[in-house]
Structure 1
Amino acid sequence: MSDPVPARPAPGPTTDDGPDPERPYGPGQPPGPPAGARRSTRSRVLRAAAAVVLLGATALAVGGALDGAGTELAAAARRPGGAVLLAAAVLANAAGLMLSMLSWRVLVADGETRLPAPVAARIFFIGFISKFVPGRIWGVLAHVQLGRDAGVAPERMLAGFGLGLVIGIATGAGAGLLTAPAVLGGHAWALAPLVLLAVAAYVRPGWVNHLVARALRLARRPPVAPGSARAVRRSILLALASWAVSGLHLWALVVLFGAPAGPALPVAVGGFALATVAGSLAFVLPDGIGARELVLLAPLTAVMPLTAATAAVIASRLVCVLSEIAATGAALLWAKLAAPAPGALSRTTVPEGVR
């Protein structure tokens, strides 16, 4: 008598294309979690880890700024009108950041792309404070992922990031020319060609697209969609307004530390723009720390002693960090309050990429 043939296990559920990969078990066996659920779990874990890293880097930035500038600001706040000037400095830089967000949003929402202002503020500021983590790639990744969640194609987010970066650097360098009379004196006219170049970029915004395309080729990155002439011009104007308003925070600080108000205004506004551009180019340094302060000292010493200028530069770092965190918190709250109730969402109103 031959041995009985062992029975084969019952096959698992199948689909028209073969076995169902999300239900590999046979009858009576516990089903595993669907692949979609596993991906969702991994995504939540990665986002939680990214949030922890970002919060830790932000806390370190705040702690470092407080350690460096806490004494100077505490002494300045006790001067007559000191508290008012410090509050005005924080508000000025926060307002400048909001203008910078609008400058970026114009580029992302170019054409048929829709990006509500509260959603744009949330994406922009989460990507913005990622600068506290070494390496600028984190801001790009945050923009792409958050934009995808909002239904904006990654190509559109990359285009907004690339164009915004070039416009921010170009307009910041242009605003930095305000320091020329105080630093160069009668030789400031030598920088006139740079002013004409900035005007030409506004008149012919295609130059900005060409510059972005060339930079991407040099970096061996895929090209991005060019911005329309109208969007580029609006972004340039908003970026210039952002530099002007943000620079007022430094003006309030240098006046608080004894600089004459009139001569210090163009130096503070232009110097802050120029120093911020230098810090953004030093991408290996978290938030350009060190490079920005070094560049900022040179123009400020034209209107105030070196010791006072140093105190103002250190105080500016703390004011910027505090205003950036405050603006980010306000943007997150704005987005939360503006979000529709869950019952108001439907498959006809939610973008396909968000479902």
Structure 2
Amino acid sequence: MIGKRGLKRLLRAAFLLAAVALGAYALADQWPSVRGGLARLTPGVIAGSLAAVLAALAASMMTWRALLADLGSPLPVRPAARVFFVSQLGKYIPGSLWPVLAQMEMGRDLGVPRARSATAFFLSLPVYVATGLVLALVTVPGEQVYGYAWLLLPLLVLLHPRIVNGVLGLGLRLLRREPLERPLTFGGIGRAFLWAFAAWLLYGAHLGILVAGLGGAGPRAYVLSAGAFALAFCLGIVVIVAPAGAGVREAAMVAALAPVLGAGAALTAALCSRLIVTAGDLASAGIAALVARRRVRAAALPEPGSGDAPGGRPDSAPGDQAVHPH
């Protein structure tokens, strides 16, 4: 009979298996449409774009970590990275709540209350959208972005510490949950904003490298790439019915990049971007999980000369002690 702990591990394994499988399926599904476009890009361009995506994902993790710390649960970078990157694979599973559910469960293992994990997750969304729209407003010309500018005012008002703390307090009372132990501060939200801007700029670098590889050279191409990705990604967040913003991001990106690339090359850049971002999601989760597993194993091993090595104690037979990875 499976106990509660065994069932929990089984469910986590099922989540991870489903997320990785669907992420891999997304890569395979996108491959036929991007194969020709990738053939136009050099290996250096593809590697540089992927490196920028990994850096952008790290900045996104730091955004979430800054909010979580301000709420009272500061986490070291490596455990935070494992929770964030692995949970983000949930966005490839149909439905919009898998990432936050995964963060709540994985964060609980690190002593983070579930309500606090959920609060940090949902607060990160308006932070991303607000900073992304600001970047898009100053980089993407014309009516392509002005129609969404009205979202900025309510987002910025909502993110004022006094207002957001009041809204969170009311919500927790209605849900009959304990109130926030530590209210959000200007400093915490400000740090989250700075990391979010860094993430958008790095995502812009990822797209700008692809655009340059497809013939869109010059500073204007990079500036437009940064705004195009931010606008497209924000729309992908707002339209939550599409898994990982499927289809929505590409349409917005093509419209924004067409002035510097033309419609055909802009579509190629958008499709290649989605493939590389998907690869970055899978790679970052894999790296974070691998690093965490190695640290657990290293912590379980006895220090040299301590006399605790297997067979090292006079009263124990070789092999009596075993290392059990988490």
User: Does TM-score exceed 0.5, indicating one fold?
Assistant: yes
Residues 1:233 and 2:198 are matched in the alignment: no
Counterpart amino acid of 1:281?
V
Residues 1:44 and 2:32 are matched in the alignment: no
Equivalence map 1:82-121=2 (5 Å): 82-110=42-70, 112-121=72-81
Equivalence map 1:123-138=2 (5 Å): 123-138=83-98
CA contact (8 A) 1:54 1:132 kept: yes
Counterpart amino acid of 1:169?
V
Provide runs of 4+ in structure 1 moved above 6 Å: 190-202, 211-214, 220-224
Q: Distance in 1 between matches of 2:209 and 2:64?
A: 26
Aligned to 2:300: 342
1:207 deviates by: 4.9
From 120, 134, 137, give the equivalent of 1:160.
120
C-alpha spacing 1:48/1:112, structure 2 compared with 1 (3 Å): closer
Aligned to 2:212: 255
Q: Distance in 2 between matches of 1:84 and 1:292?
A: 25
SS at match of 1:333: helix
C-alpha spacing 1:207/1:180, structure 2 compared with 1 (3 Å): farther
CA contact (8 A) 2:207 2:226 kept: yes
Q: Distance in 2 between matches of 1:222 and 1:67?
A: 50
Report the structure number with the largest CA radius of gyration: 1
Comparing 170-179 with 306-315, greater Cα deviation is found at 170-179
Equivalence map 1:55-204=2 (5 Å): 55-74=20-39, 76-77=40-41, 82-110=42-70, 112-181=72-141, 183=142, 204=160
Give the paired residue count: 297
C-alpha spacing 1:311/1:65, structure 2 compared with 1 (3 Å): same
Q: Distance in 2 between matches of 1:266 and 1:136?
A: 31
1:324 deviates by: 1.7
CA contact (8 A) 2:130 2:152 kept: no
Aligned to 1:353: none
Identity %: 32
CA contact (8 A) 2:133 2:152 kept: no
1:336 deviates by: 2.5
Aligned to 2:232: 275
Aligned to 1:298: 255
RMSD, matched Cα: 3.0
CA contact (8 A) 2:49 2:209 kept: yes
C-alpha spacing 1:197/1:333, structure 2 compared with 1 (3 Å): same
C-alpha spacing 1:284/1:212, structure 2 compared with 1 (3 Å): farther
Equivalence map 1:201-240=2 (5 Å): 204-207=160-163, 209=165, 225=180, 226-240=183-197
1:199 deviates by: 8.2
Taking structure 2 as the reference length, the TM-score comes to 0.81
SS at match of 1:302: helix
Q: Distance in 2 between matches of 1:238 and 1:205?
A: 18
Q: Which structure 1 residue ranges, 5 or more long, are not aligned?
A: 1-32, 345-355
Q: Which structure 2 residue ranges, 5 or more long, are not aligned?
A: 303-326
Q: Distance in 1 between matches of 2:36 and 2:138?
A: 30
Q: Distance in 2 between matches of 1:331 and 1:101?
A: 12
CA contact (8 A) 1:162 1:212 kept: no
Counterpart amino acid of 1:145?
E
